[in-house]
Structures are given as structure tokens and as C-alpha cells.
Amino acid sequence: MTQTPRSHIRNFSIVAHIDHGKSTLADRLIQMTGSLEEREMKEQILDAMDIERERGITIKANTVRLEYDAADGEHYVLNLIDTPGHVDFAYEVSRSLAACEGSLLVVDASQGVEAQTLANVYQAIDNDHEIVTVLNKVDLPAADVERVKAQVEEVIGLDASDAIEISAKTGQGVDQVLEAIVRHLPPPAEGERDAPLKALLVDSWYDAYLGVVVLVRIVDGQMKKGQTIRMMGTGAKYQVDRVAALTPKLVVIPELGPGEIGVFTASIKEVADTRVGDTITEDKRPTEKMLPGFKPAQPVVFCGLFPVDAADFEDLRAAIGKLRLNDASFSYEMETSAALGFGFRCGFLGLLHLEIIQERLAREFDLDLIATAPSVVYRMTLTDGSETELHNPADMPDVVKIATIEEPWIKATIMTPDDYLGAILQLCQERRGIQTDLAYGGSRAMVTYELPLNEVVFDFYDRLKSISKGYASFDYQIEGYREGDLVKMSILVNEEPVDALSMLVHRSAAEKRGRVMCEKLKDLIPRHMFRIPIQAAIGGKVIARETISAMRKDVTAKCYGGDVTRKRKLLEKQKEGKKKMRQFGRVEIPQEAFIQVLKVDS
């Protein structure tokens, strides 16, 4: 490969809402530039994971280098990064955008602008990107191009008069997209070929044969095989084994120059050693200033993962360790629970992230897991003035020692057809939401709410989808912490607390939540030979109670005729036995009961 002049390089990403056709457009671009032969092509070529393909979502941002001969006869190198659309993976989007100069904004011509479209395009604008608007799915009968163009101008504020109309599925209009990338998107900014190496670490993943593969964007200097490099953040040194481009296959190239995006391997053992956003430089001739990098991904939802069979604990430890290799945003620490045995407390970026990790553990490592109720990170100020974070409600100190508890709040943007607006506003009010804005564009409304994250992590997204028949879209960002009247609700079964079911709730919602949990457990725990009380309590005060009645044996069956006192004597004896049994008897709560109760519905 000859060295491409910087003016002929274009680095761009594709941003859009979930399901608006990013990955399909990427497929067409790969196909039209001939990066893969026809026999190697398949649907969603950049979505490598089985889960991505089945659910039809992108989880990891993926990169591909395309060679393109433009209409003016010039040869260009296009580096495309396909980004996820889901809110949980917004940090993947922010990393990808920092490595590019331009974005293709893809909008579904039948559905129009959605919440995630807004969030992702604003991230691109924050990164000073040039934006080319692409209207996809124009071949659908429901497509309304003029309405969507008006919407892009009204809601986002971008000029959509020259938006490119395409169908990524059929390939109609995709050649115009390639020309627009070359014409409208800028080449990489200034970069000195002879300056010391300065490269941004965009992503890294683990390969069983090559070790850690690192994706970099070169700003200054060049990277070659045999070079000794240093990670400026961690101070670690490595020797480069190979430098390659992804076309999506790994193609070894002699060097990477300024403005280029590519990968290298250097016998790195752990993905944790390659911090995303770090600056890579030469060991002998380091650059003076580090690049600004990215904010580290902060887990916002925590939950415990326990093996159903305690003997699988070591397998779970190994599996979680392997997943951590490829997903630096996932954190974990060991914990024990009286009800569930040994397991791990894991931190996730959101509920979809939690679900994906759980599914990958079940699928790729064949593990049966129980997840405890998801909870968020609370900040506590104790009476002695010290501050501490609380990840697990079971670890909450005595109420007397706590001065204040703060919980995380989010700013949520919901876009919905106005038919469902009333029900959505009611849902947000129920969840202690504070409305900050309501705007109309055509027949759609955009409403902004401040909500406690605690109320969103349970089933807010499912409820929102069901009341809007799937038409509403939702996006959020963390706003900060606020003080709240929060209490720890414990569930007692036969007067024994079950730590896996304890949770922090707002005082106003505690009674309702407690009643629901007790009613569910009453149906799920099988009857025993003695009566079992199920209680929800805050501190020493019981706020809800259900009782599972005892199974009874008819002890008077063999007693026919004669005096009634004989029967009474037998019944009294049975009653004494039940009392003793209840004192010493253990209630077996089946695993299914835990799983069912933790799927809290309103």
C-alpha cells in the first residue's frame, strides 16, 4: 500500500437512532468499494457478536477502512466507524466521534427524528463534526421524505434541503453517499509526519491468537513494526509486533501515518492495560502533551450475579474475567449472600448492558445465573461527617448513623406521537419526575423530564414502550446527585430477613412496593407444614404482610364415635407440634421465586 496523502483521507462515523439502518448502510459501503468479495459478504458484516445479529442492534463500535476511487479520478481512503444507537452504549459513540472529523446522520424516512438521533447528533456537533444528512428507507410505502426533512430542520436545526435520499437495503442512492463523504467531509486536521508519535487509543479487544488488538487514531508521527511505544497514562512500554488496517479483515501494512486509523498488536496480555482514551507515544522520543482523552465509563446500575448451582462459582469467576477482557466498562467485585451463596456484585452502564452481559454469560459460558434486583449508586453522608458510596442495599449502615442519602438523577428526553402524551406524562409523574420542557414538532411531542435513576432502572423503559405501543423513544444523561427521603425496605420470610430482596425505596412508594412484593412471594413460595408470615418492613415497622397457610393433615380421621374430648386432645397436640415446627422449621424459597420477584412490575 502506498502512503495516502492526508488530503485524501476521510474519517467519519455513522450516527442514528436504533434500527434506522446504520449497519445496513455500512454493509452497502463495504460492498460498493469492493473491500470484501461477494462470497465474503453477509448481512450486518460489522456486527460480529451473535447477540448483535439476533437482536439487530450494534453493541461494539466497529471500524473498517474503505478504498474509493471518486468521480474526479482521485483515490481516497475512507475510515468508517459504525456506532451503536442504544443509550446504554453512548460512551462507545463518544469515543468513536473523537477519532473522526465528520458524521453521516442517518434518519429513517418513515419514523423521523427520534430521541437517540438527537442525543448522538449533538455529541457529533460537540466534537465539531461536519454532518451529512442521509434519509434512509425511502423505498418503504410509509416513507414521508418532506415531513422528515422539515423535522430535521425544526428539531435538530440542520439544513436538510440537500439531504441524500437512499435505501440502504436495495442500494439505491448509496453512490451519492460516497461522493458526499469525499466532497463535504473535511480531511484530518494538521499532523506532522516527522514529529514524535502521538496517537489516541480509541478501542481495544482481545483476540485468542494475537493477544490484545488496539485501535488507534494517529495524530502526529508514524507507527511502524518494531517500534518501542509507551502508554502515557499507565507508563507501560511495548514493542509493536504488527501494524494493520481493518478492511474488515486484518490486513498488515508497513506503517500508519498522521490522520490514519488502524490497529496494532504488541504482545499485550490484558485489555485492562490499554486504557481507552490514553495517548500512545514513542518511548525514546515522547510527545510533550497528552491528548485530552475521554471520561472513563461510569457504571450507573449495579446488581448481584450468583450461580444457581454453588459449584459453578469458579466457572462464573473465569467467565466474568474473560468478558472483562473485551468490555472495560463492566466492573465487578466478589460478594456473599445468606440466601444465594457466593457471587459477584457487577456494575453496568444501564439495563440493556446488564441484560447483554447476562445473556453472554449464559450463552458463551453455559452458566445458569440469578441476578438480584438492580440498584443504583447512592451517596451517604454519615453523622460523623464522612461520605461513602452504597452499591448494595444490604450493606446499608444503621439509620441512626446516616445524616443524608443522595440519589442520582437523570435528564430524560422522550419523543412520542402526541396520542400517547397523556399516559407518558402520568408515568413520569408516578416515578417522581419533574417536567422541565414540552415542545411540539408536527404530530410529535418532545418532553424533557428530570427523574430519579432509581425509578428508571426497574421497568420504566418497558412500561414506556407498552403504553406508547412501541412508538416512544427515550434517551437520558446523568445530571448529578440530589438528596432524597430514601428508606431501606427489608423482606422477612418467617421473621427471617432475606438479604437478596432488600432494596432502597422512596418513603412515599415503600408501602405500595412492599405490598406487591409480599403478594408475589405468597404465590411463589410453596406451602409448608406450618404457617409462614411474609412481611415487608422499614426498620422495625412492618408495612405490608401476607400469610401462607399451613398444609393440614386430618389427625382425627381414625377417631370415630366416642367423646368429643378425644378429638380435641389430638387437635391440641397437633397445634403444639406446628408451633414447635414453626420455631425451628426452615422455609425453602425456590430459586424461581427469587427470579420472579425481582422482575418487579408496577
Q: What pLDDT is stored for residue 602 in this prediction?
A: 39
- Give domain status of residue 191, yes or no: no
Q: What pLDDT is stored for residue 339 in this prediction?
A: 66
Return the C-alpha cell found at 287. 510527545
Q: What does the pLDDT look like over 199-214, one tens digit per residue?
A: 888 777 777 787 788 8
Q: What does the pLDDT look like over 251-306, one tens digit per residue?
A: 888 888 888 888 888 887 776 677 777 788 888 887 777 777 666 667 777 888 88
What does the alpha-carbon distance between residue 592 and residue 576 come to, in Å, rounded to a whole number? 32
Task: Using alpha carbons, select from 309, 317, 333, 338 the residue that is nearest to residue 501.
Answer: 338
What does the alpha-carbon distance between residue 288 and residue 285 come to, in Å, rounded to a whole number? 9
Kindly report the CATH number assigned to the domain that includes residue 367.
3.30.70.870
What does the alpha-carbon distance between residue 174 and residue 165 come to, in Å, rounded to a whole number? 9
Return the C-alpha cell found at 576. 403444639
Residue whose entry in the numeric block shows the C-alpha cell 420504566: 460
Q: Which residues are annotated as a binding site for GTP?
A: 19-24, 136-139
Q: What does the pLDDT look like over 92-146, one tens digit per residue?
A: 566 677 778 888 888 888 887 776 777 778 778 877 888 888 888 888 888 888 8
Q: Are residues 396 and 359 in the same domain?
A: no
- Give domain status of residue 289, yes or no: no
Q: Which residues are annotated as a binding site?
A: 19-24, 136-139
Out of 484, 501, 528, a domain closes at 484
Q: What pLDDT is stored for residue 113 in this prediction?
A: 79
Q: Are residues 122 and 225 in the same domain?
A: no
Q: Are residues 99 and 162 in the same domain?
A: yes
Strand partners, 477: 411
Number of separate domains in the chain:
5
Q: Are residues 471 and 493 in the same domain?
A: no
47 band by pLDDT with thresholds 50, 70 and 90: very low
SS (H, E, C) 474-504: EEEEEEEEEECCEEEEEEEECCEECHHHCEE
Task: Using alpha carbons, select from 187, 12, 16 the residue that is nearest to residue 98.
Answer: 12
Kindly report the CATH number assigned to the domain that includes residue 239.
2.40.30.10
Q: Are residues 478 and 493 in the same domain?
A: no
Kindly report the CATH number assigned to the domain that includes residue 153.
3.40.50.300
- Give domain status of residue 130, yes or no: yes
Task: Using alpha carbons, select from 534, 532, 540, 529 the residue that is nearest to residue 575.
Answer: 529
Cβ neighbours of residue 305 closer than 8 Å, sequence gap 6 or more: 316, 320, 332, 343, 344, 346, 358, 361, 369, 370, 371
Q: What pLDDT is stored for residue 34 in this prediction?
A: 67
Q: Are residues 553 and 469 in the same domain?
A: no
Quote the pTM value: 0.67
- Give domain status of residue 399, yes or no: yes
Q: Provide, rounded to the nearest whole percent, the portion of the chain with pLDDT above 70.
A: 85
Return the C-alpha cell found at 295. 471520561
- Give domain status of residue 64, yes or no: yes
Q: Are residues 91 and 158 in the same domain?
A: yes
Q: What does the pLDDT look like over 25-44, one tens digit per residue?
A: 877 887 777 655 555 455 54
Out of 250, 282, 314, a domain closes at 282
Q: Are residues 44 and 168 in the same domain?
A: yes
Expressed as residue numbers, the domain containing 95 is: 6-184
CA dihedral 396, 399, 402, 403 (to 10 degrees): 150
What single letter denotes the amino acid at residue 521? L
Q: Are residues 513 and 501 in the same domain?
A: yes
Q: What pLDDT is stored for residue 60 in this prediction?
A: 53
591-598 and 507-524 helices, crossing angle to 10°: 150
